[in-house]
């Protein structure tokens, strides 16, 4: 198999950690100048925060680290297609490139549902690359929900 790019490998590891903590396994990392500068694990249950999705956690950490609200020189890697809230945050952060793993026909908002970035009201369109590490990302989610049944 083709080896996964290091940032997606890292995002999948973060997703697995989220699963171990009882959260739906989604992980994200922010990359700047080829280096991972922030990670985010899905953590709404643990933090009692419905907005604590992996992407939001990673964007907040990266923005705090850089001391600014715009991350136009950063890329976001996430294991699952972002939801509408996270797509909005990605646009607000001016993320340059979005890489994601599994598609999410139910909650995704990039290629499904509201197709956030395709709306005329969307003020920032990142370059989007889907399906990276898709099998592994989907497998983590599948195993998580099977174990909870």
- Interacting residues with Zn ion (CB under 5 A): 53, 83, 85-86
Question: Closest CB to Zn ion among 41 and 83?
Answer: 83
Provide, rounded to whole angstroms, the least separation between the CB of residue 55 and Zn ion: 6
Active site includes 55?
A: yes
Provide, rounded to whole angstroms, the least separation between the CB of residue 2 and Zn ion: 27
Name the catalytic one among 23, 55, 81, 136: 55
Q: For the chain, what is the HEC assignment?
A: CCCCCHHHHHHHHHHHHHHHCCCCCCEEEEEECCEEEEEEECCHHHHCCCCCCHHHHHHHHHHHHHCCCCCCCEEEEEEECCCHHHHHHHHHHCCCEEEEEECCCCCCCCCCCCCHHHCCCCCCCCEEEECCCHHHHHHHHHHHHHHHC
Provide, rounded to whole angstroms, the least separation between the CB of residue 86 and Zn ion: 3
Enumerate the active-site residues.
Answer: 55
């Amino acid at each position: 198999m083709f080896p996964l790019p290091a940032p997606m490998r890292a995002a999948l590891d973060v997703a697995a950690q989220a699963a171990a903590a009882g959260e739906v396994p989604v992980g994200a990392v922010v990359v700047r100048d080829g280096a991972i500068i922030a990670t985010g694990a899905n953590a709404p249950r643990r933090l009692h925060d419905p907005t604590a999705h992996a992407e939001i956690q990673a964007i907040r950490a990266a923005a705090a680290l850089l001391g600014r609200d715009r991350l136009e020189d950063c890329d976001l890697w996430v294991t699952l297609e972002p939801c509408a809230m996270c797509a909005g945050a990605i646009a607000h952060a001016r993320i340059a490139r979005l890489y994601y793993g599994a598609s999410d026909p139910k909650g995704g908002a990039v290629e499904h549902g509201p197709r956030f970035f395709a709306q005329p009201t969307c003020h920032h369109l990142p370059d989007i690359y889907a399906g990276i590490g898709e099998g592994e990302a989907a497998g983590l989610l599948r195993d998580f929900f099977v174990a909870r049944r």
